[in-house]
Structure 1
Amino acid sequence: MTTLLDRPARTLEPPAADPPPGPPPGRLRRLVRGPAGQAAYVRPAALAMLAGTALLYLWNLTASGYGNSFYAAAELAGTQSWKAWLFGSLDAGNAITVDKPPGALWVATAFARLFGFSSFTVLAPQAFMGIAAVGLLYLTVKRVAGPAAGLIAGSALALTPVAVLMFRFNNPDALLVLLMVTAAYFVVRSLEKASARWLALAGVAIGFAFLTKMGQALLVLPAFTLVYLIAAPTSLRRRLLHLVGALGALIVSAGWYVALVELWPASSRPYIGGSTNNSLLELALGYNGLGRLLGGSGNGGGGGGSTNTGFGGSTGITRMFGSAFGTEISWLLPAALIALVGGLWLTRRAPRTDLFRAGLVLWGGWLLVTAGVFSFMSGTIHPYYAVALAPAIGGLVGMGVVIAWKQRAALAARITLAAMVLATGVWDYVLLGRTSDFLPWAKYVVLAAGVLAGLLVLVGQRVRRVLPAVVLAVVVSLGLGSTAYAAATAAQTHNGSIPTSGPSSSAMGGGGGGTRGAGGPGGSGAPTGTPPNGANGSTSSSSSSSTSSADGGGGMGGDASASSELTALLSNTTTTWAAATSGSQSAASLELATGKSVIAIGGFSGTDDAPTLAQFKQWVAEGKISYYISGGQGGGRDGSSAASEIQSWVESNYTATTVGSTTVYKLVS
């Protein structure tokens, strides 16, 4: 197809005969076929990969309702108050923030402000982030290992079950992964010509990733630093100076917001949820820093230095392969580790600045450091954190397959590829066996394909007619198990604060809820596809019970779904806050049901000392809170001292009434 812009200018010469049909000219041809000199399959294959990713991530997306109601409520608050948007407040009245920096909320809330608050605008930004991450990983790996490696890497990321989960859900991890892949792309660009500018951009990307999920964003820095020190084509002195400049860019891109929060008068901003002293810096160093690594108070679900965290299984080198993480991330993990070792061996004689080996160091360092920290951290860890490993695994598998195939005349290359497919076939057989009622035949197909592919790679490289069989066996071995779980993940609904992937997903925490209005808060029906009757999970196996943390807070437990009577009562209020209740999940569910602000006493875990009793009394005296709702998560006397004191004061000074099945205290006359 041609357009007017593609046609040549008219001349006075007589018209010539119609030319024979050929490929589309100009920009359209470049769009469809790619630049001149590029293999004809590359651009169509890349576009097909992105289209397939979009279908997988966007199909039936609103079936999960608002996903994680905790972040959805904060997004709703951000559409109602610019201050709530800036600080990541859970409520538009700006009583307390979520327990993460607001980077992901800034993006999602901007989307909701543009297109209206609904289930789709809550979840779609993460899907678009996933599509972008897949495309950017393809481009990054392509620059160092060619288009085939990029296509394998991008496809591996797209089809990783935990990636499908997180890119269809509204946790901050989607933006975190996109920003880390963006930083990796900038690092690769910086390696090509020792560019300080590109390296500084990588620092900026990690700085904003820090404002998305704090310390987890920094786990890729050792790999980025090492690869630039090793492979940048310039002197060691200049390499060090460039790294210092990139560190400065990181500090500025993250530090401006930390400084803004620390310098802003505490009395005119919300309390920093998750902190012990209303400080974002303390939140980064404590609750979202050392608290995650070493355990301790404030991390709901994590023991204080225990070697067995509540949601991630026992610490140790096998954690990523265990029951909590295995089916989320480890489908291609053995292949990635083999690819790293084999690839480094095959490139051992390459010059220092070789980009292919630099790519191995980048993705290998990312994988080893991040997986190592996840495996041994004693604080709170959830299986979905493993999505941060997916780009590195994809990059290593793509590069490993390509270099082993290109050098298959060498025994070491054949052993590398054979080991990759055989290990994947055996391990995927084990993983598929963990859900024996899900595609029971698939584990045998994967195992047979892995064994067949390994044998053919080892002995059949000189017989051209077996090459198609080799390729097919390799593809089935590397892709079937993960793809099956990815499709099953997309077919499930996911709600709550701790979702899991696979054919039988579950989640803890506030989930769906029939009280949420269709297309936005305040309606009487649930958004399209929301599980009825306030169900929290996505399947019959999902958890809908309240599960409190090891510290006594219940912020991650199931929400107390609002009755129609309670929803109507709160919807008719005109005060700053319609109500106050213990724990963020309860408050979030009420906000989504009514569209009104609700104070989450004690924050996410119910253990924050915010608001204080004195502050609460002042707000009540000023007529800013209409009702106190008993029975939320965080548990009153079992939560923070502030929550316990507030509940005791309310019970002593106000009369309890029952609305629906909920105990309510009216605080205004």
Structure 2
Amino acid sequence: MTNTTKDPRWVRPALIGLLGATAVLYVWSLTVSGWANAYYSAAAQAGSESWKAFFFGSLDASNSITVDKPSLSLWPMALSVRLFGLHSWTILAPQVLMGVATVGILFAAVRRRFGPVAGLIAGAVLALTPVAVLMFRYNNPDALLTLLLTVAIYFVLRALEDGRSKWMVLAGAVIGAAFLAKTLQAFLILPVLALVYLLCAPVKLGKRVGQLLLAGLAMVVAGGWWVAIVELWPASSRPYIGGSENNSFLNLTFGYNGLGRINGNEMPGGGGGSGAGGFRGGSPFSQESGIGRMFASAVGGQISWLLPAALILLVAGLVLVWKAKVMRSAFLVWGGSLLITTIVFSFMKGTFHEYYTVAMAPYVGALVGMGTVTLWKHRDWLWVLATLSGSVIITAAWAFVLLNRTPEYVPWLKWFVLLGGLVAAAALLLTDQLGRRVAMGAVALAGVASLAGPVAYSLTTIGDGHNGGIITAGPASARMGGMGGMGGMGRGGGQLPGGAGDFEGGAQGGFPGGMRFQGISAELKKLLTKDADKYAWVAATVSSQTSADLQLSTEKPVMAIGGFSGGDPSPTLEQFKQYVDEGRIHYFAGSNRGGGPGGGRGTAAAITSWVEQTFQQVTVDGTTLYDLTQPKTS
């Protein structure tokens, strides 16, 4: 049965206020990150110029190679750039809208069975989670993935209320779309959704099975149509599938972006065991796996502020609502999604970045909102009140630990959080004796103490620029010590041409995860863009780190030899020679622009060596170029 009770008059203004505040928080100083992840920004620029590049997710408008993900997450950015021009705003604003939408969907999902207060708490927790503040202001695929998974859960919860097939079909379709945002990560919560529906749906078992099959079919259709087109399209007339070993999206999905992330046998960029960018037995970005990963220094400040409370409230909430089937199902769906995602993230041995945990933020928010309201309604029972009070103490104590890891960062805050939490917890235990006003004050103080740490980290996050593939929320000092001391690679200094404002970037050179947009001089830009329309690519260079830099500066196609890391076997030396003979590439940019680790081996190395031996070299403002229309004299 659906909750049809009319909301009090204050609910709509409160919701509008929550969504408005979220929008302001996420949009504030948005361009401080410049192009953010230039890898995806360059692909968005390409998609704004070419519908073929738009469809495939090509890194350049002449379609040499794709990004190493499906293209769905690029489409909002590419459309934005096509409509409003290339700018930091047009790249990043779509993710802001996704963040606001995710908060609204989460409110709607929680409110239906647990009331508007629970929905507002859930939305606020999500909006203020530091990793959510980071990723809903950034152009990685995780923003769209998080939105779509939240929408899918909303549809499943609707189906658990009335057993109507349309909700399960919609849920399946949305998860299929989520696959086109970030492949197999979209399927992490599938076992939970399917099992809860199979056990708890208010229809006969046979119909449940049939509905799950329909949902699966919708998922395959929604996620498979693009895959089928890409796989069936003649390889000779489409871009190379970046990150794959054999120019196959299925190979990318089940290899580098699939099981390799779990077992650590990753081969990013293909190229076989000796290929550039290939990692056997664990990526340099894998960190130490184990049950404590979500609470470790690299990850804890991103997502774990309210994680212990969410788990406590999950257990207590299930005990209290076990006989209320729909409410029990909601706890099982949100709680199961949190648990399975946490377990996979904790124990995966391949590449793991802290920002992956944004997918957990809606689950934590939902459990905190539902659990808090459920326990408050049953506060007449001493064990319930003690559990609620205990969750506040644990949250405050854990926040103290997190804040104490960076003692120079707002040093007084950890003491305020700890003391405020202890006072609030004590007052909660005495609500009957202290009266309603004091009780409400204790609740407010508990909320402030619980959210003060995430708020501080979030405010710091919006004030800092983030750039490249290795990014984390909160103060820079909190990131050191993660990933072998590389946690701060997403910061640095630079200036975005075109009036987007100052921003901070990542380390030059090294792993492309630290990619930074450096910009180019006016002289170099003039040289590259001269007679640009005569060429399919104004330049070619090893790895997307350099190609994105040149392409975003010139707004002209630049070939990324070897794709993301320079390790993809595309183009081959023979193909590259053919392009040069046909006059399709003007310049080759040397490795001094900070190419990735793939530049020294494999196909990319062979191309580089041939170019250096064959064509005349010129240096423009520190950048080595080879004019591919001017061979050396014998």
2:398 matches 1:427: yes
Give the Cα–Cα distance (whole angstroms) in 2 for the partners of residues 479 and 168 of structure 1: 20
- Which residue does 1:90 correspond to in 2? 59
CA apart distance, 1:528: 2.4
- Report the secondary structure of 1:378's partner residue: coil
Amino acid at match of 1:649: W
- Equivalent residue of 1:314, what SS? coil
Return the index of the structure with the highest Cα Rg.
1
Residue 378 of structure 1: which of 330, 338, 349 is its match? 349
* Alignment match, 2:474: 502
* AA matched with 2:313: A
Pick aligned residue for 1:490 from 462, 466, 483: 462
Counterpart in the other structure of 2:612: 651
Equivalent residue number for residue 517 of structure 1: 497
2:289 pairs with 1:324: no
Cα distance change on mapping 1:517 and 1:637 into 2, 3 Å = closer
Which residue is 1:571 aligned to? 529
Q: 1:560 to 1:610 in 2, by over 3 A?
A: farther
Mapped pair 1:155 → 2:124: yes
The 1-side partners of 2:514 and 2:572 are apart by 22
Cα shift at 1:303: 5.1
Secondary structure at 1:500 match in 2: coil
* 1:201 corresponds to 2:173: no
Structure 1 residues 513 and 442, CA gap change in structure 2 (3 angstroms): closer
Q: Distance in 2 between matches of 1:635 and 1:481?
A: 36
Cα distance in 1 for residues equivalent to 2:149 and 2:469: 23
Change (3 A) 1:51 1:374: same
- Give me the identity figure in percent: 50
Are 1:437 and 2:408 matched, yes or no?
yes
Partner secondary structure for residue 626 of structure 1: strand
| Residue pair 2:543, 2:599 contacting (<8 A) in 1 also | no
Conserved? CA contact 1:418–1:454, under 8 Å: yes
User: Is the contact between residue 35 and residue 517 of structure 2 (CA under 8 Å) also seen in structure 1?
Assistant: no
Distance 1:374 1:47 in 2: 34
Residues in 2 aligned to 1:302 and 1:557: alpha-carbon distance in whole angstroms: 18
Name the SS for the 2:281 alignment partner. coil
Contact 1:556 1:605 in 2 (8 A): no
Q: Distance in 2 between matches of 1:62 and 1:604?
A: 24
Deviations 1:506-549 (A, max 9, x none): 764698743x531xxxxxxxx32233xxx51xxxxxx423223x
| Counterpart selection for 2:212 from 220, 243, 255 | 243
1:21 maps to: none
- 2:629 partner SS: coil
**Cα shift readout 1:312-370 (whole Å, capped 9, x = no counterpart):** 5310001011111111111110110111111112223x15xx22111110111111111
Q: Structure 2: where are the runs of 5+ without partners? A: 270-276, 480-486
Matched, 1:333 2:307: yes
Q: TM-score, normalised by structure 2?
A: 0.92
Question: Partner residue of 2:363?
Answer: 392
Which one of the candidate residues 315, 319, 335 is aligned to 2:289? 315
Aligned to 2:73: 104
Q: How does 1:143-182 map to 2 (within 5 A)?
A: 143-182=112-151
What is the match of residue 611 of structure 1?
571
2:443 equivalent in structure 1: 471
From 455, 458, 472, the equivalent of 2:429 is 458
| Alpha-carbon separation, structure 2, partners of 1:134 and 1:268 | 41
Rounded to whole Å, the distance in 2 between the matches of 1:649 and 1:555 is 28
Counterpart amino acid of 1:568? Answer: K
Query: 1-side partners of 2:393 and 2:53: how far apart?
Result: 52
- Residue number among 274, 278, 281 corresponding to 1:305 in the alignment: 281
SS in 1 for 2:500: coil
- Give the aligned partner of residue 417 of structure 1: 388
Unpaired segments of 5 or more residues in structure 1?
Answer: 1-34, 519-526, 537-542, 549-553
State the one-letter code of the partner of 1:563: S
User: Paired residue for 1:134?
Assistant: 103
Equivalent-residue separation in structure 2 for 1:118 and 1:580 (angstroms): 23
Asked if 2 retains the 8 angstrom alpha-carbon contact of 1:137 and 1:391, the reply is yes
Call closer, same or farther: CA 1:511–1:432 in 2, change over 3 Å. closer
Instruction: Report how far residue 208 of structure 1 moved.
Output: 0.6
Equivalent of 1:597 in 530, 549, 557: 557
CA distance in 1, matches of 2:346, 2:500: 38
Aligned counterpart for 2:326 among listed residues 355, 366, 369: 355
> Whole-Å Cα distance in 1 between the matches of residues 361 and 122 of structure 2?
9
CA offsets 1:388-414 (integer angstroms, 9 cap, x no match): 000000000001100110000112311
Partner amino acid, structure 2, of 1:131? V
Q: Partners in 2 of 1:292 and 1:412 — Cα distance? A: 42
Q: How far apart are the structure 2 equivalents of 1:467 and 1:102?
A: 51
Q: Which amino acid aligns with 1:583?
A: S
* Pick aligned residue for 2:188 from 216, 219, 244: 219
Question: Structure 1's 302 and 39: CA in aligned 2 closer, same or farther, altered over 3 A?
Answer: farther
Q: C-alpha deviations, 1:9-49, integer Å up to 9, x for none?
A: xxxxxxxxxxxxxxxxxxxxxxxxxx983212211111110
- Give the whole-Å Cα distance in 1 for the aligned partners of 2:464 and 2:343: 30
What per-residue deviation string (whole Å, max 9, x for no partner) do you get for residues 104-145 of structure 1? 111221122222221111000000000000000000011121
In 1: Cα distance, 2:528 partner to 2:351 partner = 34
CA shift, 1:635, in A, is 5.2
CA RMSD of aligned residues (A): 2.0
CA distance in 2, matches of 1:264, 1:395: 42
Whole-angstrom CA distance in 2 between matches of 1:448 and 1:511: 36
Change (3 A) 1:510 1:347: closer
Residue 626 of structure 2 aligns to a residue whose secondary structure is strand
After TM superposition, give the deviation of residue 264 of structure 1 in Å: 0.5
Q: Is this contact kept in 1: 2:428–2:443, CA < 8 A? A: no
Structure 1 runs (4+) greater than 4 angstroms displaced: 300-303, 509-513, 554-561, 632-640
C-alpha displacement at 1:83, in angstroms?
Answer: 0.4
Please give the per-residue CA displacement for 1:234-284, whole angstroms capped at 9, x wherever unaligned: 111111111111011001100100000001011111000001111111111
Aligned residue type for 2:616: T
CA contact (8 A) 2:572 2:603 kept: yes
Between 224-233 and 205-214, the greater mean CA deviation after superposition = 224-233
**Per the alignment, do residues 185 and 237 of structure 1 end up closer, same or farther by CA in structure 2, a change over 3 Å counting?**
same
1:490 aligned counterpart, secondary structure:
helix
Tell me if structure 2 keeps the 8 A contact 1:607–1:634: no
Partner SS, residue 667 of structure 1 = strand
Aligned to 2:510: 547
> Could you give the per-residue CA deviations for residues 394-447 of structure 1, whole angstroms, max 9, x where no partner exists?
000001100110000112311221121111100000111122222111111111
How many equivalent pairs are there? 607
Secondary structure in 2 aligned to 1:530?
strand
Give the conservation status (yes or no) of the 8 Å contact 2:396–2:418: yes
**Residues 57-79 of structure 1: CA distance to partner in whole angstroms, max 9, x if unpaired?**
11121222111111111111011
Rounded to whole Å, the distance in 2 between the matches of 1:512 and 1:171 is: 20
Deviates most, 114-123 or 149-158 = 114-123
TM-score, scaled to structure 1: 0.87
Check 1:235–1:193 CA distance in 2 against 1; reply closer, same or farther (3 A cut): same
1:469 Cα offset (Å): 2.7
For 1:194 and 1:305, the matched residues in 2 are separated by 45
Assess if the C-alpha contact under 8 Å between 2:110 and 2:366 holds in 1: yes
User: Taking structure 1 as reference, are residues 591 and 250 closer, same or farther at Cα in structure 2, changes over 3 Å only?
Assistant: same
Paired residue secondary structure (2:297): coil
